[in-house]
């Protein structure tokens, strides 16, 4: 393409024409985003040098300020599972020269909605969400935004959003099957009652294992997925005289609380009751009774979510993708007698 006059500064189109690539590819090279070969990068840089292309930095920043910031909505950063996942996103974003703003919702669905509104006011256009509750309310608020990309870390995602998640149904099945293999037949699944697809998937998997192997599983509701709620749930089970011999905690924090309460009530673990958690937190193996847990590839989830987000932003013909990663059961002394 020929410039109008000798004084017109070269733009992206001129650089693209000289390098024999698209304008999008030139933009990707300048912003270190998208996919391109080393040879393509060299051609673009050679064209920039030969044409004397100078990036208008102030205009660039005004135009791309919102795009270079990624919003990350997490339920609870005090839970090391979410902290590790956030680390995966942040590390990958740093490699792509992106800034991540992390918003902690303290396991409060309404606060998460408010946090999303705050990110919108900051003109954050790219978003990774780990829903506290169902994602519907959040998605309805996000859909009207122009030029946005969003990735859900959730099992149930609409077709018009990308998603990545662990196969929580398989995780629930693995946990229940392991308890059944240890001779347990009366299982309790201890978790909040929410619209979360994660919790329902785990219970569904546990229920399938129970049906397959002639056992039972009951959902015991708690208010929050934390240690204190686990303590309270275990005390209530003992005080009510509920007949059970296996526990599936919705996460390791709940399971840790239950182990603590069982010890207080002289309930022998794993001889009388076996306990399985979920997430395989670092502290799980260092407890007085090391905790059996379902491990999730946390860092990989975060990195994959970031990569999917950037792909959606840069791909000309983007197709929404839904990735499911496999969990792994790690057996320890809370289910397997020494």
Which tokens in the block code for residue 268?
A: 């022998």
pLDDT of residue 255: 98
pLDDT of residue 162: 87
Summarize pLDDT for 214-239 with one digit per residue, the tens: 999 999 999 999 999 999 999 999 99
Which tokens in the block code for residue 125?
A: 């256009």
DSSP state of 220: E
Q: Residues 6 or more apart from 68 whose CB is under 8 A from it? A: 97, 98, 99
d(CA 205, CA 201): 6
Q: Helix, strand or coil for residue 180? A: helix
Around 122, how many Cα atoms within 13 Å sit in the side-chain half-sphere?
18
Q: Residue 164's beta-bridge partner residues?
A: 323
DSSP state of 162: E
pLDDT, average across residues 272-284: 95
pLDDT of residue 63: 46
pLDDT, average across residues 90-111: 89
- Greater confidence (251 vs 162) lies with 251
Q: CA nearest 48: which of 11, 92, 103?
A: 11
pLDDT of residue 222: 97
pLDDT of residue 67: 47
Q: Give yes or no on whether 12-63 and 65-165+298-324 have one common fold.
A: no
Across the chain, mean pLDDT equals: 85
> What spatial distance separates the first Cα and last Cα of the chain, rounded to whole Å?
76
Q: What is the CATH number of domain 168-296?
A: 3.40.50.2300
Summarize pLDDT for 27-86 with one digit per residue, the tens: 777 766 667 788 888 888 787 777 766 655 444 444 444 446 899 999 998 888 889 899
DSSP state of 285: G
- Greater confidence (145 vs 41) lies with 41
In the chain, pLDDT over 90 holds for what percent of residues?
49
| pLDDT band at residue 2 using 50, 70 and 90 as cut-offs | very low
Is the model's pLDDT at 297 over the cut of 90? yes
Do the beta carbons of residue 222 and residue 194 sit within 8 Å? Answer: no
Do the beta carbons of residue 137 and residue 291 sit within 8 Å? Answer: no
E strand or H helix at 190, and its extent?
A: strand 186-191
CATH class of 12-63: mainly alpha
Q: What is the CATH number of domain 65-165+298-324?
A: 3.40.50.2300
CB under 8 A, 24+ apart: contacts of 266-269: 267/234, 267/238, 269/334
- Greater confidence (191 vs 60) lies with 191
Is the model's pLDDT at 147 over the cut of 60? no
Is the model's pLDDT at 207 over the cut of 70? yes
pLDDT of residue 54: 60
| pLDDT band at residue 143 using 50, 70 and 90 as cut-offs | low
pLDDT of residue 267: 97
Per-domain boundaries in the chain = 12-63, 65-165+298-324, 168-296
């Amino acid at each position: 393409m020929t410039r109008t006059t000798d004084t017109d500064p070269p733009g992206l189109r001129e650089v693209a024409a000289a390098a024999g690539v698209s304008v999008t590819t030139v933009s990707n090279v300048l912003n270190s985003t998208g996919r391109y070969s080393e040879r393509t990068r060299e051609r673009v840089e050679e064209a920039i040098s030969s044409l004397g292309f100078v990036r208008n930095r102030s205009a660039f920043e005004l135009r791309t300020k919102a795009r270079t910031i990624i919003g990350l909505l997490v339920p609870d950063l005090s839970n090391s599972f979410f902290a590790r996942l956030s680390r995966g996103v942040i590390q990958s974003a740093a490699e792509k020269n992106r800034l991540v703003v992390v918003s902690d919702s303290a396991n409060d669905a309404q606060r998460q909605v408010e946090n999303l509104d705050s990110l919108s006011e900051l003109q954050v256009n790219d978003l990774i969400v780990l829903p506290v509750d169902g994602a519907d309310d959040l998605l309805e608020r996000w859909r009207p935004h122009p030029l946005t990309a969003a990735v859900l870390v959730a099992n149930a995602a609409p077709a018009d959003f990308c998603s990545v998640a662990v196969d929580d149904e398989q995780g629930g099945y693995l946990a229940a099957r392991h308890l059944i293999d240890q001779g347990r037949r009366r299982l309790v699944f201890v978790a909040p009652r929410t619209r979360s697809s994660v919790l329902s998937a785990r219970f569904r998997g546990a229920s399938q294992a129970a049906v397959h192997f002639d056992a039972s599983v009951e959902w015991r509701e708690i208010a929050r997925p934390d240690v204190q709620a686990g303590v309270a749930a275990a005390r209530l089970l003992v005080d009510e005289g509920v007949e059970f011999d296996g526990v599936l905690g919705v996460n390791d924090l709940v399971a840790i609380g239950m182990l603590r309460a069982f010890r207080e009530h002289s309930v022998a673990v794993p001889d009388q009751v076996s306990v399985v958690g979920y997430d395989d937190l670092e502290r799980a193996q260092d407890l007085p009774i090391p905790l059996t847990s379902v491990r999730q590839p946390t860092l990989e989830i975060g990195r994959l979510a970031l990569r999917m987000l950037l792909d959606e932003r840069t791909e000309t013909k983007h197709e929404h993708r839904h990735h499911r990663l496999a969990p792994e059961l790690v057996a320890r002394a809370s289910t397997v007698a020494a």
